[in-house]
């Protein structure tokens, strides 16, 4: 099995904000860029912002936001008995929907 090293950051990429350990966020091959003398995308803030905008959110907070959105959608759907979800009040039992 052949191991592909294309796109993997090199030693000179150490301080770059686009270095993602296993690949370069700029989408270039760092080895060929540094062979030419200097990497054109080194610490490029515009490329970093574009990468972050395209990258899906990760972590516990992102998962919480996804769950919250899914729960809001579920609450707005019609139940099998024809009622819409009515949340319980803080001080007591749920208020019956008016007909």
The DSSP annotation for the chain comes to: -PPP-TT---GGGTT-TTB-SSSBTT-S-HHHHHHTSS-TTTT-HHHHHHHHHHSPP-SHHHHHHHHHHHHHHHHHSBPTTSPBP-PPPSSSSPPPPP-
Domain boundaries, the chain: 11-76
The average pLDDT across 17-45 equals 87
Over residues 46-76, the pLDDT tens digits come to 988 998 888 877 888 888 988 999 988 887 7
Stated pTM of the model: 0.50
Over residues 36-50, the pLDDT tens digits come to 888 888 998 998 899
């Amino acid at each position: 099995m052949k191991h592909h090293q294309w796109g993997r950051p090199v030693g000179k990429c150490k301080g770059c904000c686009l270095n993602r350990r296993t690949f370069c966020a700029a989408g270039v091959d760092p080895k060929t860029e540094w062979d030419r003398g200097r990497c054109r995308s080194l610490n490029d803030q515009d490329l970093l912002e574009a990468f972050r905008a395209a990258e899906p959110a990760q972590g516990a907070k992102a998962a919480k936001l996804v769950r919250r959105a899914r729960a809001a959608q579920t609450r707005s759907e019609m139940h099998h008995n024809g009622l819409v979800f009515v949340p319980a009040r803080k001080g007591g039992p749920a208020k019956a929907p008016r007909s």
